[in-house]
Structures are given as C-alpha cells and as structure tokens.
Structure 1
Amino acid sequence: MPTAHFTLDDLRRILLEAAGADEGVDLEGDILDEEFESLGYESLALLETGSRIEREYGIALDEELLSDVQTPRTLIAAVNESLGAVQSAA
C-alpha cells in the first residue's frame, strides 16, 4: 500500500497518468496554489484523478468535493483528511 500521506509529488504523478499535461504548463514548479483550470485540468480530468487516488489509496472522495477543489493544496488536504479518517478507523 502507498504511503499514508499524500504529497504534491503523488498528485503530480497521478495528474500526469490521468490526464497528461498541457504544453507550457510546468507541473514541477510551485503549483500548490495555482488553480487547476490554469494548469489545464478541467472537471473531467479531476474526476479521473480522484478516481485514481481512490483506487490507489483505498479511500472514497466525494464527487462534490472534486468539483469544488480549486488548487492542488486543497485537494492534497482533502486526500490527507480522508487518509487520516481511514487510519483512525483501523
């Protein structure tokens, strides 16, 4: 099982696997507070990203949450919150 903490590097990897990257977008830069839309990721790409996160980390993410998150920072925080809830229940 993957680490119990979801990081920006984890998100970058999954974003690339799920939807690739637009030309001219540097995912390796400081993107924590960039809006997903400005990074080239629309709602469908985020739903696919969320689905991959759920499968890989064994958590459930609310579809509404995935449509509401605006930045990598907020998505990472939501994933880590879900991971914490799963670990607390175990």
Structure 2
Amino acid sequence: MAYFPPGDITAGVLEPGEHIYYDIAGAHRVAWSYEDAWTEVRRVSGLVSFEPDEIEVQLDGVRLRLEPGQNVVSHGVDRNLTLDETTAVGQP
C-alpha cells in the first residue's frame, strides 16, 4: 500500500466522496485519506491511498500492482459490504 501527498496527484482526479473517501471517474470509494489519523498511523494523516484492485494507479508512468502474495481483504463499508454482512462475520 502506498500513500501520496495530494499535491502529487493529477489535479481534478479526486472527487470528494463520503466521509474519508474519494471517487475517481465514476468509481466510488477507490481512494481515501485520513485527515487526523490515530496515533499509531499518524504519519499517513492527510496523505491519499488508492484501492489497487479497484482502479489503475500509475506512478511515474508505471502501473502500481499488488506485490506477489499480497491481496486485498474485503471488509467494511469501503468494500461495498452492507451492515448486515459486516455484523454477520464470525457468527454461526
């Protein structure tokens, strides 16, 4: 996962979404930023990260991809789960 300063992202690409998320070219919740991250991850406050399995991201002309063996775990509202799906996890 990579985090970028907003000034390094092409102007006009990020469309404000709901809460901490951004929409890009009609794709919803494909980037996010924690304006005031909790203490353990304070260093990413104000930086933007992208969902590499949801949208193509390029850095200096090179497409960013998940590293071998790395995957994205679907969870929470940012992965389009309903409240019922999130509360059902771990229940018989």
- TM interval, shorter chain, is under 0.3
Question: Structure with the greater relative contact order (CA < 8 A, sep ≥ 6): 1 or 2?
Answer: 1
Q: Give the alignment's TM-score, normalised by structure 1.
A: 0.25
Query: Which protein has the larger Cα radius of gyration, Structure 1 or Structure 2?
Result: 2
